[in-house]
Amino acid sequence: MAKPLFHGVCASSITPFGQQGALDLARLGPHLDWLIGEGVDAISPLGSSGEFVAMECEDRKRVLASAIENIAGRVHVVAGTHDYSTRRTIDLSKFAESHGADSLLIVPPYYMAPTPTQVMDHYRRIAEAVSIPIVLYHNIPLTAVDLKSDHLLKLYEEKAIGGIKMSNPEPDRICEILQATHSKLHIYAGIDTVAFEGLCHGAHGWISGIPSTVPRAAKELYVAIAVEKNLDKARLLWTKLAPLMRLQFQAYHSRGEGAHWFSTMKAGLNMIGPPVGDPEPPIAPLPASLRETLAQLLRDLGYKVQS
């Protein structure tokens, strides 16, 4: 693993689509420029926000190549190269590395719920095929895979992974691994509900909805906790960010109706940055009844909302 992983906030960039689901890559460059202008430390094309599950592998490669070319070394690139198939994941990972990605974000094989040993072998085989770090995307609800801390530590000891995006509602999962590895294994808060606690525990960064929607505000919180060590300031910042987090994850946490995190994210980006379009169906645009609520939350964070 020749390249170091990043510290700070990472935006999971969107994939712009046009009519009938065709890629609209002309919109990608302005979106990436805006994220970088907001002060992100890294960008992850084809994370969850990149809607990789809606694309065939060749279109994923087109997105990765375009994103890496547009970013042009300005920030660290964590390329999403996940797929259910180990073979296709290796192919995507080698492609991303050959085009200049700095690291890889890979969710466990989803839907078929392989055993922990099978999942660990999946990561081992990918690691054998590439030389850049792998960030394991720990996301139990969307994969049905829960690698325990001992599994994760074993993969780290074997040098199969260099980091973990921990999308787990239990902050102690972050704390436990940081303590076990003396903070040598890079841990990123992967869901906004544990971002504050995770960063206070010493997480190396933050990759989730808030850093992807309002990166400047997310960076302020990261700096207050990780750099300035100013807990009072961080609490005040989180008071403003928490309502956005609660809106974004309404449907996710209730497992029912309400704002969908990605509908909220794309609506927010359309309000304050270059247009990025709507989600691909079945995810629908944010309902009109929630748009003014979102707009006011963005204004409260200091953003100018476009009409």
- Give residue-wise pLDDT tens across range 168-187: 889 999 999 999 999 999 99
User: Which pLDDT band holds residue 252 (cuts at 50, 70, 90)?
Assistant: confident
CA–CA gap between residue 176 and residue 18 (Å, rounded) = 43
CATH of domain 8-230: 3.20.20.70
Express each pLDDT in 12-25 by its tens digit. Answer: 999 999 888 899 99
User: Pick from 269, 259, 245, 140: which is nearest to 192 by CA?
Assistant: 245
Kindly compute the dihedral angle of the four CA atoms of residues 73, 208, 234, 215, in this order, to the nearest 10 degrees.
50
For the chain, give the secondary structure using H, E and C. CCCCCCCEEEECCCCCECHHHCECHHHHHHHHHHHHHCCCCEECCCCHHHCHHHCCHHHHHHHHHHHHHHHCCCCEEEEECCCCCHHHHHHHHHHHHHCCCCEEEECCCCCCCCCHHHHHHHHHHHHHHCCCCEEEEECHHHHCCCCCHHHHHHHHHCCCCCEEEECCCCHHHHHHHHHHCCCCCEEEECCHHHHHHHHHHCCCEEECHHHHHCHHHHHHHHHHHHHCCCHHHHHHHHHHHHHHHHHHCHHHHHCCCCCCHHHHHHHHHHHHCCCCCCCCCCCCCCCHHHHHHHHHHHHHCCCCCCC
Least confident of 87-91, 239-243, 252-256, 268-272: 252-256
Q: How high does pLDDT run on average in the chain?
A: 96
Q: Is pLDDT at 8 greater than 90 in this prediction?
A: yes
Structure tokens at 86: 């180990």
Q: pTM of the full predicted structure?
A: 0.96
Q: What percentage of residues in the chain have a pLDDT greater than 70?
A: 99
Residue-level pLDDT at 293: 97
Q: Is pLDDT at 91 greater than 90 in this prediction?
A: yes
Q: What is the mean pLDDT of residues 94-102?
A: 98
User: Which pLDDT band holds residue 288 (cuts at 50, 70, 90)?
Assistant: very high
Decide if 172 contacts 148 (C-beta within 8 A): no
Catalytic residues: 137, 165
Kindly compute the dihedral angle of the four CA atoms of residues 106, 107, 110, 114, in this order, to the nearest 10 degrees.
90
Decide if 101 contacts 134 (C-beta within 8 A): no
Decide if 225 contacts 272 (C-beta within 8 A): no
Kindly compute the dihedral angle of the four CA atoms of residues 188, 44, 122, 175, in this order, to the nearest 10 degrees.
0
User: Which pLDDT band holds residue 2 (cuts at 50, 70, 90)?
Assistant: low
Say if strands 186-189 and 205-207 run parallel, antiparallel, or are unpaired: parallel
Q: What is the mean pLDDT of residues 237-255?
A: 92
Contacts of 129 (CB under 8 A, 6+ apart): 90, 93, 94
Q: Is pLDDT at 45 greater than 50 in this prediction?
A: yes
Residue-level pLDDT at 1: 47
User: Which pLDDT band holds residue 251 (cuts at 50, 70, 90)?
Assistant: confident
